[in-house]
A = this chain, B = another copy of it.
């Protein structure tokens, strides 16, 4: 069993509405050992894909994306939720991402300078649930004319629609940990 699965079973907390809290090792306090193992798995899966850039969204995606980019020896880019005063409208791509957990829609942006048609992108995120964050990142990659090599997810809630949406787009998705159910406040993994 992976370190990530062990830590989810030991330290994860299940809240109502299928919220899995992993604040003790991934979303608030971060254990570099867990992050390193996740990055090594993404590297193993995607190492022959000619990746030129690892792409994520702030804030919780930054840790696994940075560790992954280090192994690929490529830059990491994160989409920003704030609008920098030093980046004019015509210099950026933007998209809207809805969070079902927080029930808010956020405008996120990247600078056109850091994602181009020459890039082959590995998208990384901490959670995959309804897929909104990944679809937003895909939209930004497509606006830039770059190609997507695949998506690496730390924790996938396989009982929600995100995975299916990404599969329907024909994108290679690899999740380190797939959760079949959080019913009765109990974590049930899919066998993957």
Task: Say yes or no: B63 contacts A29, CB within 8 Å.
Answer: no
* Residue of A35, A59, A77, A85 contacting most chain B CB atoms (<10 Å): A59
Contact (A32, B62) CB under 8 Å given A19-B86, A21-B86, A111-B23: no
> Which of B21, B67, B73, B114 interacts with A28 by CB under 8 Å?
B114
Task: Tell me if A36 counts as interface (CB < 8 A to partner B).
Answer: yes
Measured as residues with beta carbon below 8 angstroms from the partner, the interface class of chain A is 35 or more
Contact mask for chain A residues 20-31; partner B; CB cutoff 8 A; 1 contact, 0 none: 010111001111
> Which of B59, B75, B84 interacts with A58 by CB under 8 Å?
B59
Task: Say yes or no: A31 contacts B77, CB within 8 Å.
Answer: no
Closest 4 CB pairs of A and B: A32-B70, A58-B59, A29-B114, A59-B59
Tell me the A residues contacting B by CB distance below 8 Å.
Answer: 13, 15, 19, 21, 23-25, 28-32, 35-36, 58-59, 62-63, 66-67, 69-70, 73, 75-78, 80, 82, 84-87, 101-102, 110-111, 113-114
